[in-house]
Amino acid sequence: MGWSHNCYGLSYHNDPVNHWLSLVQSEPWWFVLDSLGDMVCDSVLHCYHQVCSTVLQRIVRWWLFASFPLFPFLKYSLRTLIYSLHRFLFREGGDVIQPLVSVVIPAHNEAQNLATLLDELDLSLQAAGYAHEILVMDDGSSDESWSLLGSRAEQQPTLRPMRHQRSAGQSTSIWQAVHLARGEWIITLDGDGQNDPADIPVLLERALKDDVTLVAGHRIQRHDDWVKRFSSRLANRVRGALLKDNTPDTGCALKVFRRDAFVRLPYFDHMHRFLPALILSQGGSCVSMPVSHRPRQAGQSHYGIKNRLWAGLLDISGVMWLRYRSRLPAEVVEHTAIETPFTVRQSVAEND
């Protein structure tokens, strides 16, 4: 038996060895160190209170009274040190650790498709020679998605699984994962395996020319049932006519865009359907490129006419308002000092 900590103080474990083994196996190293530091500090505090509550040893209270505030200070200082070390090792501006590309995959009950998709992703990006990471946001799945991602992460160092306890939606999953991503460029695709990872190097090569903010995939030949094809085509035409985003297939999940441009966008539910229009409203540029589309191998689609067209009409009006109120891009001319003979002579004298 042994002590462990929780948010209310100390708790008792019947098998501390297995408890810490499971903690080491299931949690990142910085969390284990933080938990160990909390346990040590809480144990010291617990023993201190036990000693100080004894009538015969009240005098100890006076001797240790001055040092009592050091215990919680040590506890939170240790936690701050661990978190600072973690942020330093995985800092966003690191030359070695920061990847060029972060792949973001929102997934809901896609356990049967994720394993094949992750294999294809790693193969495609490694063959192209791009340093990358893969962030999969399990959006409250009720199948085996989370256990699958956990076991895969132990063997695939580029994989970073994340999870919502309850489903928060595709836009929220993408928004949170992008903010946690470390790559300069973000690649989004669905977790159902219908987007082909073999198209990624072509889209990324176009994006790296640095003259566009977003490269959107355009599914020329769809492999869906007629209801999904009809609802997607209708939604794209309505959005295109009202928003004039010049994107024929904004519903295609396969997109490549700059992370710094995305984090400046306003957040709202279903925003992932309007990324080209939102990018344009911030002064960015978008292009579309043809991509392949594959039949769904397992599971079922989560979208139809109801949540593609009718649920998006209110969002379209909001995006139209945002675009109308935007004044970007706006040309900025910076003042530069006029170089005079005096300044030239002064600079030469300083160099001498």
User: For 311-352, how does the pLDDT look when each residue is reduced to its tens digit (9 = 90+)?
Assistant: 577 788 888 888 888 888 788 888 876 655 555 455 445 555
Look at 228-237, 285-294, 307-316, 338-347 and tell me which has the smallest mean pLDDT: 338-347
Q: What φ, ψ does residue 306 adopt, rounded to 5°?
A: -60, -50
* Residues 80 and 190 reside in one and the same domain: no
Q: Mean of the per-residue pLDDT values for the chain?
A: 76
Q: Are 143 and 256 in a shared domain?
A: yes
Determine the Cα–Cα distance for residues 204 and 187; give it in Å rounded to an integer.
8
Is the pLDDT reported for residue 287 higher than 60?
yes
Would you call the peptide bond into 329 cis, given omega within 30 degrees of 0 as the criterion?
yes
- Against a cut of 0.75, is the pTM above it? no
pLDDT digits over 125-174, tens only? 988 899 999 999 999 999 999 999 999 999 898 999 999 999 999 999 99
Are 141 and 280 members of one domain? yes
Does residue 267 share a domain with residue 126? yes
Q: What's residue 16's pLDDT?
A: 57
Domain boundary among 63, 89, 115: 89
- Domain contains 336: no
Tell me the residue range of the domain where 320 lies. 101-325
Tell me which of 337 and 297 has the higher pLDDT. Answer: 297
Q: Helix crossing, 70-89 with 29-52: angle to 10°?
A: 180
Q: How many domains does the chain have?
A: 2
CATH code (residue 120): 3.90.550.10
In a domain, 105, yes or no: yes
pLDDT for 268 beyond 70? yes
- Quick one: angle between helices 200-207 and 111-128, nearest 10? 50
Both 228 and 312 in one domain: the answer is: yes
Residue 339, domain member (yes or no): no
Residues of the chain with pLDDT > 90, as a percent, come to: 39
